[in-house]
Amino acid sequence: MNTAAGVSRVAVVGTGVIGASWAAHFLAHGLDVVATDPAPGAEERLRADVAAHWPLLADAGLAEGASPDRLAFTADPAEAADAADFVQENGPEREDVKRGLFARLDAAARPGVVLASSSSGMGASTFARECAKDPGRALVGHPFNPPHLIPLVEVVPGERTDESAVQAALAFYTAVGKKPIRVRHELPGHIANRLQAALWREAYSLVDRGVATVADIDTAIAYGPGLRWAILGPFANQHLSGGPGGIAHILEHLGPPTEAWWRDLGDPSLTPELAAKLVAGVDEALAGITGPELAARRDALLRVLLAAKAGAGLP
């Protein structure tokens, strides 16, 4: 039986887009997965989603013994948690739902089993208080979509999370090919989503003010800084931009202009009019390309990019 940092069976709680992607990823790494979701037809949709992800995962290389046949399903989250060595929760982004789920998962899971939430914005302190048996094992393990391809996982302990649970989560995610980072303080949106939100804020403002179209902004990022960001992060890229002087040179010479740009950034409100403008702009830019078609093209290129990055030995 394959194990990853002592984990051989993972419970995937909630099997929407994120949960199904997680399930495919864990299966591809040779683990057993027991999934649960109360929605009608959830098992059929999950198995179809895993089958759709599998060719790309197979192309990337499967662990020994990896198979979709190692996927089990139950309608009872307590049954899933009871059978698992690690729990990955992916329920709706609602505090009442998370709190109820974690109460049930904590009551059912064996001692020492980490309860990780894929929450994109909530901190573990919000729902760990419902873990009457062991609140110290609850934390956030936030992936970046799609989890079966993108390596980032943000591990965010809550105010009562034990250090042993943090280390176990970091070790497990690393063992299944992820690039986990530890978030030192609970903040709404963690790290990556806050960085995205900062970019979206100015992008929405530029569209709202008529400075650029939706297509212009997507082109500016996808064919400009986005290409560099896919290879190195913002600080490393700044360092390279400084030539021999590195980031110190950039901060000295471009720091004051950058501060002036910060002060000039927009502060838009997501009004119905702006929302309509953004939706219309996306529809026009995509010119009839469906969401599934666009996602398939994106995922195929992500696979190539990640393989190239791995071969280049970049940080």
What is the C-alpha separation between 67 and 62, in angstroms, rounded? 9
- Contact by Cβ (8 Å): 19, 147: no
What does pLDDT average to over the chain? 96
CA 177 to chain centre: 14
pLDDT at 117 over 80: yes
Closest C-alpha among 105, 148, 139, 104 to residue 119: 139
For residue range 18-41, list pLDDT tens digits in order: 999 999 999 999 999 999 999 999
Give the whole-angstrom CA distance, residue 311 versus residue 167: 27
Among the listed residues 236, 208, 219, 171, the one whose alpha carbon sits nearest the alpha carbon of residue 4 = 171
CA distance 65 to 2: 8
Q: What is the mean pLDDT of residues 140-164?
A: 97
| Sign of torsion over alpha carbons 71, 79, 141, 171 | negative
Return the domain boundaries, the chain.
Answer: 9-182, 192-312
- CATH superfamily label, 192-312: N-(1-d-carboxylethyl)-l-norvaline Dehydrogenase; domain 2 (1.10.1040.10)
Q: What is the pLDDT averaged over residues 202-208?
A: 98
- Mean pLDDT, residues 88-105 taken together: 96
- Asked if pLDDT for residue 197 goes beyond 90, the answer is yes
Tens-place pLDDT, residues 1-13: 678 889 999 999 9
pTM of the model: 0.94
* CATH code given to domain 9-182: 3.40.50.720
**Contact assessment for residue 277 and residue 207, using Cβ atoms and an 8 Å cutoff:** yes
Percent of the chain with pLDDT over 90: 95
Nearest 5°: phi and psi at 89?
-90, 135
Residues 256-297: tens digit of each pLDDT: 999 999 999 999 999 999 999 999 999 999 998 999 999 999
The pLDDT of residue 238 is: 94
Tokens 């913002």, located at residue: 234
Nearest residue to 174 via CA among 186, 166, 184, 183: 166
